[in-house]
Homo-oligomer: A and B are copies of this chain.
Amino acid sequence: MKNVFLIITFLGVISSYAQENTFPEGTKPASTNVIGAQYPRIDSERKAYFRINAPAADSISVSLGNLALTKDEKGVWTGVTKPLDPGFHYYTLKINGVDVDDPNSETFYGMSRIASGIEIPEDGVDFYDIKDVPHGNIESHWYLAKSTGNMRLAYVYTPPGYDKNTKERYPVLYLQHGMGEDRRAWGNQGRANFILDNLIAEGKAKPMIIVMEDGGIAQGFGSPKRPQDKNFWDSFEDIMIKDLIPNIDSHYRTLSDSSHRAIAGLSLGGTQTYQISQSNLDKFGNIGIFSAPFGFPGIETGYNGLLKKPEEFAKKVKLFYVSMGSKEGARSGRSTHEELDKAGIKNVYYEAPGTAHEFQTWRKSLYGFAQLLFKD
């Protein structure tokens, strides 16, 4: 009986392999492809090779460098990008002017849509690879947010051993995604769980819980607010302070004092981190700002004037970490760091070499930040 399934599967495999049985030398399928998809492929120079069978299409381009593919006499479209930065990149295809996802790629919520993504390996960098070490879990955690009246979903990373060490309590990092992304981004695109698994296995980071929520972006149930709604921004602060933190502290074995709680975010999530942390220093004793060009409240008035009182600020904030990619403008982090330094506010600054406003910058930022967190 099972042969019927085998035959069906075979036919699919044969048809997808028949179109191409030799591949450009030195290339491998991207790890972000769906199972079995041979394209896009990546070579050792970090160029990506595309190949799409579409005889009836009149134009196909790839958003990575706006690469126009060319069509051969059989209707197969091919093209090769310039060398791409290492790390994860969103992309889409444009087929006859319509922006669509690449059927060969796994999909990722980003750019306010479901997008394709391509992972470009970085030589010698494996801190976000999955390894044979104890693994924590990312779990879906539904809870009723009274401030919005709807059920909301947070993704929660619990570190290796959390289920076994039932007497142990853990510090918590609230980790925010960027604009047009959601709770899935730090796990799927950022590989936050593998970064922590590996750091914890090497003894470089304390086991911690990571909570990933939706930054106030409307969720698909109930009647949530959208950015254009009144008090949208305040309402995420309400969700975080009045609903999410108490819920996490009651459902997970947390250490609930401010020195064992951190908030960090990338881009828009960094802006939110500034906003929420400055009015809630009793809740957050550790702050991480990754590539946030907007939102630094300034030395004069920020953090209720505490940035002018370095000693008082240091009593409340154990770690103030600012980062960006070296291809970003100074405003995304370096200028904040310099202002903080000038004001005598202790801070840690990191600049990811050779990367832009992308996840490789933020993976490396988390890698550095997590190693400094919760060191008693």
Contacts and interface: CB of A to CB of B under 8 A. Distances in A.
B142 A139 contact: no
A141 interface: yes
Nearest to A94: B56
A112 to B, nearest CB: 6
Given A141-B137, A228-B10, A96 B163 contact: no
Contacts of A60: 98
A35 B218 contact: yes
A144 B163 contact: no
Contacts of A130: 142, 151, 221
Contacts of A193: 140
Interface of A: 1-2, 4-6, 8-10, 12-13, 31, 34-36, 52, 54-60, 92-93, 95-101, 103, 105-107, 109, 112-114, 130-132, 135, 137-144, 151, 156, 158, 163, 166, 179, 182, 193, 217-221, 226-228, 233, 251-252, 268, 271, 275, 294-296
A251 B182 CA distance: 30
A133 to B, nearest CB: 9
A131 B221 CA distance: 10
B6 A227 contact: yes
Contact of A144 (B2, B97, B132): B132
